[in-house]
Chains A and B, each alone.
Chain A
Amino acid sequence: MAIAARARSQTERHAASTWWARNGVRTVVMVIGLSIFTLWTLFPFVWIIETSLKTNKDLYQQASLFPTHITGQHYSEVIHKTKFLTYIKNSLFVSIGTTLIAMVIGVLSAYAMTRLRFRGRTFMARAIIVTYLVPGALLFIPITQIALQLHLTNKASGLIAIYLIFTVPFCTWLAISYFNTIPVELEDAALVDGATRLQSLVRIIIPLALPALAVIALFAFTNAWNEFFFALLLVTKDSEKTIPAGLGGLINGDVFQWGALMAMSILSSAPPILVYLIAQKWVVSGLSGGAVKG
């Protein structure tokens, strides 16, 4: 019946010759739409790369859309005249620290939430979601005040503590939604054989969840790597600056050193962007799986 219906509808379409019209229209819409979106998405990237390669003359005196000379001077300035490598090191330390702590907390909690039976489970689930959703604007005044009071300025530990506020509920929630997809029965044999819960978590659940955990870790890492509000506010000592604070150091009042700023931007954001491009498929499924389901 379906075949007959399809054949009928196709003959109808051919008769009116709308099939070609429709596919023609489809192609035109696709090409125009995708071109506009591509241009809209990519032009700032082109502008960043151009700016980082232009001479100061092309940037300021005789501004031109495309560089007349290509120069590496901004890159060498960033590497030689700023503490770029120190900033990278500090950013790595803060981001890896945040990620490790958030992942340990998230995985342990997610295991308890999905595999163990105890009173207060629903309450904790609610608490995790609410803290994940609670607006940052409500917290930044007290957090700043507390950080200043406890002299957490210019300290990696201070930044890590603050970044945990945003990463822990998020990591825990994503880990919970992933652990829920792993059948409980897989652990039963091990538990009957006398394995402890911790052993079962480490030997069975974590290896199974490894790809998902990698995506969660990537989120946590980039969250910490990209955060700049507290980094600019709390870190003023050059030797303790993370990348965002270092970028801030290239701005003096209203004077922006655009060439160097864009060069440092490219050097510091290229690695995470590359990782995203490569892991894009998993990133998308992780993101939509954790926040939106069903």
Chain B
Amino acid sequence: MATISLGKRTAAVSPRSVSQRLLGRDWRLAWLFLLPLTVVLVVLIAYPFVAAIILSLQHKVVGGPATWVGVRNYRDLLVGAQYGAVFRKSVWVSFVYTAVAIAVKVSLGMCMALLLNERFRGRMVMRALLFLPWAMPTLITALTWRWIYDGTPNGLLNLIRINYLQKDTLTQFLANPRLALWSVIVVVVWQGTPFYTMMLLAGMQAIPREQYEAAAMDGANVFQRFVFITLPSLKPVLIITCLLSTIWTANSVNFVFVLTRGGPANATMTFPMLAYEIGIDGARQLGTAAAVSVMFFPLFIVAIVFLTKRMLSTEGRA
């Protein structure tokens, strides 16, 4: 869009010098404006990023000297006696955790958005209420659910089970290896669904009403209208929201960190939690911990490349 006004502008400012021809009309000012951003990108993001890769090739304990060990950290994780089993477990746990959470969030988010897209009295109030979990600080959400799941008769769920459902045993939602991962996923879903609802609702409101009216006249029922109008129109929003949310969900340590710390018996050991356990909490093996994160990174490159292309193209169109 800037190209259109180019001729008019160059007439107003001084004639173009050689450097302006090579580097662009406003290059001095542009890079001056971009200087702080560049500092942040390089010092705070690119440098730690490179540091992660270098660290993963070193043996380094917190506060100790670093020695170069090549790919030994990676070998230790893949086939080593100490970390091999827990690393392979974390691959599976991360996969289940992310896949189930995303699938449930997108389904519930879709239902919520469909309901909120209808016209009814008190719609704005409902909308605000159903978005509340998103506005709630993550630490507080996690603590609250830890208290809801509490394994004593005082936790909400056990309280209800014993006092109202006449059960006489306590359920250890977070300490039972067979339940823990599902309990954590429930919390992730509770907090994450409103983001999907918001995105999908915004997408639904961009669909012209006439399309539905025309389809209704042609005799399409509710489900047909959903499958043939709503879903195809929402496809771009759905793809972007799911990809964004996959990157964030898979890489977040927050809920596992507060609820279970990866336990019991590594049942909830997602890979960021494993990196924390190896690098910061237990053995303080920074090198091996960095290798955990670096090894998972390629999985997200596809999503990042796709999203980058997509966001760049929409920026140009705006």
Contact = CB atoms under 8 A, between A and B. Distances in A.
Contact of A117 (B6, B118, B120, B303): B6
A134 interface: yes
A202 interface: no
Chain A interface, DSSP helix/strand/loop, else mixed: helix
Contacts of B111: 33, 37
Nearest to B258: A228
B37 interface: yes
Contacts of B148: 44, 47
B297 A184 contact: no
B9 interface: yes
B26 A116 contact: yes
Could you say which interface size class chain B belongs to? Answer: 35 or more
A140 to B, nearest CB: 7
Given A138-B294, A226-B137, A119 B37 contact: no
B275 A273 contact: no
Contact of B317 (A6, A226, A294): A294
A63 B159 contact: yes
Interface in A178-202: 180-181, 184-185, 188, 191-192, 197
Contacts, number: 312
A247 B139 contact: yes
A242 to B, nearest CB: 11
Given A108-B34, A145-B51, A233 B280 contact: yes
Contact of A137 (B6, B143, B275): B275
Interface string B235-268: 0110011001001001111100100000000000
Nearest to A111: B33
Interface in B279-317: 279-280, 286, 289-290, 293-294, 296-297, 300, 303-304, 307-308, 311-312, 314-315, 317
A246 B62 CA distance: 25
A277 B251 CA distance: 28
A143 B252 CA distance: 15
Interface in A153-211: 161-162, 164-165, 168-169, 172-173, 176-177, 180-181, 184-185, 188, 191-192, 197
B92 to A, nearest CB: 17
A190 B129 CA distance: 45
A138 B297 contact: yes
11 contacts: A26-B118, A37-B111, A48-B140, A136-B272, A142-B290, A146-B48, A172-B37, A173-B311, A247-B140, A262-B143, A291-B241
Interface of A: 2, 5-6, 9, 26, 30, 33-34, 37-38, 40-45, 47-48, 51, 59-60, 63-65, 104-106, 108-109, 111-122, 124-131, 133-146, 148, 161-162, 164-165, 168-169, 172-173, 176-177, 180-181, 184-185, 188, 191-192, 197, 222, 225-226, 228-229, 233, 244, 247, 256, 258, 261-262, 265, 268-269, 272-273, 276-277, 280, 284-285, 287-288, 291-294
Interface of B: 1-2, 5-6, 8-9, 12, 22-27, 29-31, 33-34, 36-37, 40-41, 44-45, 47-49, 51-52, 55, 62-63, 111-112, 115, 118, 120, 126-133, 135-141, 143-148, 153-154, 156, 159-160, 163-164, 190, 198-199, 201-203, 216-217, 219, 236-237, 240-241, 244, 247, 250-254, 257, 271-272, 275-276, 279-280, 286, 289-290, 293-294, 296-297, 300, 303-304, 307-308, 311-312, 314-315, 317-318
Given A292-B237, A293-B315, 7 more contacts: A37-B111, A137-B272, A138-B297, A140-B253, A140-B293, A144-B280, A277-B135
